[in-house]
Amino acid sequence: MPDASLPPLNWLRAFEASARHLSFTNAAHELNMTQSAVSQQIKSLEGYLGKTLFYRLTRRLELTDSGKQYLPWVQESFEVLTRGTRQVVGADRKQTLQVVSNLAFTVHFIAPRLPVFAQRHPEIRLNFTTPIWHMDHSSQSADLEIRYGREPAAGIKWELLTNATYFPVCGPNDDVTLETLPDRLLFDCAALTCNWESWLQHIGHPLDQSTNITYASTYAVSFSAAIAGSGLAIGHDILVSDMLKDGRLKEPFSQRVLMEEAYYLIHPAGHVASPASQVFSDWIREELDMLKAEWAE
């Protein structure tokens, strides 16, 4: 290998992510790649270096001595590149915050409150990427990520934003009852445990198999249908609080169930918290605290 040459940057990114997760699959999710592509890039890097970087064990990876030796150099190099890029693009860029945020949370919680943030912090410019599922987009290039789901895997720096409850919602003029519910069109968000079936199970009314449920990949479809009077949706308090308050939706039943999923604030690996990211994180917590205080009244 020539002394002055370096392996391709994408091979190094695949190595760094795989070493943090000790999993090609989890690295692939983070990098928005396939597992086989990550594995192939690692093989290419190992061939280039002439060193084995991972032991491939059953369901997990382990770094070899060469991998352990190489990892800190790669991570430090990415950090140096990040700092250098920020200096080159200038001070104004430091006030631009790249946020990867769950689509429904961004649309229904953050967006209505952004005028307040903009008024208080005009020096910060926000750029949002809004995947439906966190594996739809890599958060490596983001300053912050707001993720919805189960507790993040070990090795990820995160904090719980809030626990929420879920319950049915419908249009303001809908007079549905538990007895007439099986005859109604229901809307739900796919691949979640907080759904119609689990809510009905919790309140002692197992789901009638004849019930017509329409599934979508985002709450935006469910809520729009409920507001239009097309049926009922399952919502949770963080997302529907504004719509309940202004009368676009109503809560036809009193039973609420604690969600198994939650919203998490993720700090991508290798990113040093900037003043702008700290301000935005504090503001999100403040807005959620204000919402919780309203629920307690």
For 218-275, write each residue's pLDDT tens digit: 888 999 999 999 999 999 999 999 999 999 999 999 999 999 888 999 877 555 667 8
pLDDT score of 96: 84
Checking if the pLDDT of 3 tops 70, the result is no
Residue 139: pLDDT over 90: no
pLDDT at position 274: 77
Q: How far apart are CA 220 and CA 197, in angstroms?
A: 20
Burial of 221 (0-12, 13-18, 19+ CB in 10 A): middle
Contact 101, 130 (CB under 8 A): yes
Question: Is 159 or 171 the better-scoring residue by pLDDT?
Answer: 171
The residue-averaged pLDDT of 147-153 equals 81
Q: Cβ(189)–Cβ(108) under 8 Å?
A: no
Q: Give residue 59's pLDDT.
A: 83
pLDDT of residue 93: 47
Confidence bin at 140 (pLDDT 50/70/90): low
Which burial class, exposed, middle or buried, applies to 197 when counting CB atoms under 10 A from its CB (0-12, 13-18, 19+)? middle
Least confident of 106-115, 244-253, 270-279, 286-295: 270-279
For the chain, the structural domain boundaries read 9-89, 91-163+261-296, 165-258
Residue 215 is inside which H or E element, if any? strand 212-216
The fraction of the chain above a pLDDT of 70, given in percent, is 90
* Residue 92 neighbours by CB under 8 Å, 6+ apart: none
Residue 136 — very low, low, confident or very high, per pLDDT cuts 50/70/90?
A: very low
Distance between CA 192 and CA 188 in Å, rounded?
9
Supply the pLDDT for residue 214.
94
Place 90 in a pLDDT band, splitting at 50, 70 and 90: low
Range 17-45 average pLDDT: 89
Tokens (6 digits) for 50: 């002439």
Domain 91-163+261-296 and domain 165-258 have a common topology: yes
Residue-level pLDDT at 79: 85
pLDDT at 210 over 90: no
- CATH 3.40.140.10 for domain 9-89, yes or no, is no
What is the three-class DSSP state of 265?
strand
Alpha helices in the chain (DSSP H): 9-21, 24-31, 35-49, 65-89, 91-94, 103-105, 111-120, 196-202, 219-227, 237-245, 275-296
What pLDDT sits at residue 2? Answer: 43
User: What pLDDT is attached to residue 63?
Assistant: 95
The percentage of residues in the chain with a pLDDT greater than 90, rounded to a whole number, is: 53
The backbone torsions φ and ψ at residue 188, rounded to the nearest 5 degrees and listed phi first, read -145, 165
Distance from C-alpha of 260 to C-alpha of 270, rounded to nearest angstrom? 29
Mean pLDDT score of the chain, rounded to an integer?
86
- pLDDT of 70 above 80: yes
DSSP string, 113-182: HHHHHHHH-TT-EEEEE--SSGGGS--TT-SEEEEEESPPPTT-EEEEEE--EEEEEB-TT----TTTGG
Architecture of domain 165-258: 3-Layer(aba) Sandwich (3.40)
Q: How confident is the model at residue 74 (pLDDT cuts 50, 70, 90)?
A: very high
Q: What's the fold here for domain 91-163+261-296? A: D-Maltodextrin-Binding Protein; domain 2 (3.40.190)
Q: Read off φ and ψ for residue 69, nearest 5 degrees.
A: -70, -35
- pLDDT-based confidence at residue 156 (cuts at 50, 70, 90): confident
The neighbouring-strand residues paired with 189 are 216
CA-nearest of 84, 79, 86, 145 to 280 is 145
Pairwise pLDDT comparison (291 vs 53), residue with the higher score: 53
Q: What is the pLDDT of residue 31?
A: 82
Residue carrying the six token digits 């915050």:
97
